[in-house]
Each structure stands twice: as structure tokens, then as C-alpha cells.
Amino acid sequence: MKKYITLAFMACMLLTTTSCKTGNSNKANDTAENMITVPEFNADNAYQYIQAQVDFGPRVPNTKEHVACGEYLAQKLEEYGAKVTNQYADLLAFNGTILKARNIIGSYNPENKKRILLFAHWDSRPWSDADLDEKNHHTPVLGANDGASGVGVLLEIARLINQEAPALGIDIIFFDAEDYGAPRFHKGDHKDEYWCLGSQYWSRNPHVEGYNARFGILLDMVGGKDATFYRELYSEKYARSVNKKVWKKAKELGYSNIFVNEENGGAIDDHLFVNEIAGIPSIDIVPYMADAKHNSFGDFWHTINDDMSGIDKKTLQAVGQTVLAVIYNEK
Ligand code: AHN
Ligand code: ZN
């Protein structure tokens, strides 16, 4: 009898100590052995990481602002305990320009064969070619949302992973030269392959030989006011089960008004090349704005208005918390 009481006492202690750890976390499961704690995403931090990138100015390849921001991002990943790999490459743009590109990779638990890939692009577009005012077409985009937002959310996730690791290994990649696709005013070729040059390069030359991941999640323009995210069409084609998983988790967290569980819109985006070249089933969390006047990504898109005034912490919170819940629930 005494033995059983002691055992019961010990079990209680175990439960108490495990649940203590959930102090500022969400309890996903309540039995001791299945207990998964998902850290709490801090949108104020993500916002600050976006501001810090925007403060460099536009991050257009082959500019000093781009170089300086690349240093900042690699240093932040180091600070948050990732093993950082820099992939430098000379990439050929649609107009013959050689882009001095840098993919920045932060790896957690690199020995673990079970992995998840999280990615965003960190460059910003050289032209505001979708701006309604033609005189702005040659002005670089500031890229608060288009570029900096995905990176900002991933830096906050990096900070949290460093505090308490999920079961799987995580790779965070900031891809370069995503947004150097031919501008609308360009008279020559407009091939899809001119977009996403950094992710194409990595997909052909992964930072680890034979690299693989269970799945990938791309975050692109995840900070816009009133943004809605639908299941993007290439994601459905290549990684339907990942879309299902993410939208289900968003619903559980109460975000089904932001993550609308319907298919809508296709984006030639970094995930397409990670799917087609690297063969890693990957989705794109990218806005689809049903009511936008000019563009389904949102009317800020590729205009001089893509600045901090368009960033909403509510959207950052919904995306960040959903992605965290997904990765911490993988076993
Ligand atoms: C195209 O417009 C072809 N693709 C969108 C990819 C993109 C650009 N994401 C952000 N900027
Ligand atoms: Zn863009």
C-alpha cells in the first residue's frame, strides 16, 4: 500500500513539475506523457524585427543596405542559438545583371534527421511597378510586408525555439533575390524562372548534401492589415496534407476568420521551386484579398505604400502562433 501511495505521490510531482513549465505556454495535451507545450508568440517582437529591417531602407540586391541587413539577419540567428550557414551565389537576373546573393540558413538540432523547413525571402523589390502612379515605378519597394514580415515572424520563432526546442529539427531559411522578377515595364521576357532566384539556387544546391525535410512552410507577406489567407493552389497541388494541418490548427486557435479554409489564388513563389526542384512538400502562407481593388495580394503590393503603416500585429500573431502550434505538435 505504502508503495502505491509513494508512486502516486511521485506521479503527482511529475505532473506538477511538467505543468509548471507551461506557465506562459499553451497546453496542447493534458496527459503527462503526451504533454506538448507550445510557446507563446510575441507579435511586439516580430514587429520590432520588421522595423529593424525596414530601417536599413530597401534591401535590393547589390546595394549596401542589402549587405547591412544580411549581416543583421545572420547575427540575429546566431544570437538565437542557430547554427548559421551562409550561401553566397552570383545569380543571373532577367536583364543580365549579376546579383550578389546571400541565402541565410539557421539550423536547430542539425543532427536530427526529422526536420521541418521554414522560409521567407529577405530581399525587397527594386521597382514599385504595380504602383498606380507611373512616376513611382522605378522607386524600390520598402517591403515591410513583402519581405520583412515573413522574416520578422521567423526571427521570433527562432528566439522561442532557442528557449525550448520542439521535437523535430528546424531549419529557417531567409532566401535572397526572390523579388527581382522582370518589372511590368520591361519589354523582354517575363519568365516565371526570373522570380525566386535564391530559393532556386538552394533547391539545386542545398546547404547539406541530401537534405530533406518532412515539409516546408513559406511565409510571404504575413503582416498586412485585415489579411486573409486561403489555401494557395500550388500548395494544394504539392502539399495538400500540410495545408490541411495548418488550416486545422489555425481554426483550433480561433483564427478561422484569418485562415479561411478554402482554396484561392496561385503564387509563383519560393515554395514552388522548393516543391519542384528540391522535392520537399511545401506550402505558402500568402494573402489572398478577395476585396482588393487592384491586386489579390493586397493593394500595397509592389507599391510605395508597402511600409510599416500597413503592418498589423494581429495578423503577425495569428500566423506566428499557428506556425508554432504546427511545428511543436510534430513528433
Ligand atoms: C508573382 O507575382 C509572379 N509572384 C509573386 C511572388 C512574390 C513577389 N511574392 C512577393 N513578391
Ligand atoms: Zn514582391
Domain boundaries, the chain: 37-328
Atom of ligand 1 nearest to the CA of 268: 4
What was the pLDDT predicted at 75? 98
Under the banding of pLDDT at 50, 70 and 90, the label for residue 36 is confident
Cα of 220 vs centre of ligand 2, distance in Å, is 9
Q: What percent of the chain has pLDDT over 90?
A: 88
Residue 108 has pLDDT above 90, yes or no: yes
Enumerate residues 6+ apart whose C-beta is below 8 A from 77: 84, 104, 106, 155, 158, 172
Rounded to the nearest angstrom, the distance between the alpha carbon of 151 and the centre of ligand 2 is: 14
pLDDT band at 35 (very low <50, low <70, confident <90, very high): confident
pLDDT of 322 reads: 98
- Give the number of whichever ligand sits closest to the CA of residue 195: 1
- Give the largest CA-CA distance in the chain: 86
Ligand 2 center from residue 306 Cα (angstroms): 10
For ligand 1, residues with CB inside 6 Å are 146, 179, 181, 195, 220, 267-269
**Is 13 a residue whose pLDDT tops 60?**
no
Give the mean model confidence (pLDDT) for residues 216-240: 98
Nearest CA to ligand 1 atom 11: 179
Kindly indicate whether the domain formed by 37-328 is annotated with CATH number 3.60.20.10.
no
Distance CA(321)–CA(307), nearest Å, equals 23
**If DSSP codes are grouped into helix, strand and coil, which group holds residue 19?**
helix
Side chain identity at residue 273, one-letter code: F
Give percent above pLDDT 70 in the chain: 90
Band of pLDDT at residue 132, cut at 50, 70 and 90: very high
Query: Which 3 state secondary structure label does DSSP give 260?
Result: strand
With cut-offs at 50, 70 and 90, classify the pLDDT of residue 33: low
pLDDT in tens, 83-99: 999 999 999 999 999 99
Count of alpha carbons within 13 Å of 201, Cβ hemisphere only?
Answer: 25
In the prediction, which pLDDT does 22 show? Answer: 37
Q: Are 66 and 126 in contact (CB under 8 A)?
A: no
pTM of the model: 0.91
Atom in ligand 1 nearest the alpha carbon of residue 146: 10
Range name among 87-96, 149-158, 290-299 with the lowest pLDDT average: 290-299
Higher-confidence residue of 136 and 8: namely 136
Grid coordinates given for 182: 522582370
Protein residue closest via CA to atom 6 of ligand 1: 269
Return the pLDDT at 233: 98
Confidence label for 222 from pLDDT (cuts 50, 70 and 90)? very high
Q: What is the whole-number distance in angstroms between the Cα of residue 96 and the centre of ligand 1? A: 20
Closest ligand by atom to 125 CA: 2
**Predicted local distance difference test score (pLDDT) of residue 20:** 33
What atom of ligand 1 comes closest to residue 269's alpha carbon?
6
d(CA 75, CA 135): 37
The residue whose C-alpha atom lies closest to atom 8 belonging to ligand 1 is: 179
The larger pLDDT score, comparing residue 129 to residue 8, is at 129
Mean pLDDT of 284-306: 96
Amino acid sitting at position 164: E
Tell me which residue has its CA closest to atom 9 in ligand 1: 269
228 CB neighbour count, 10 Å cutoff: 18
Mean pLDDT of the chain: 92
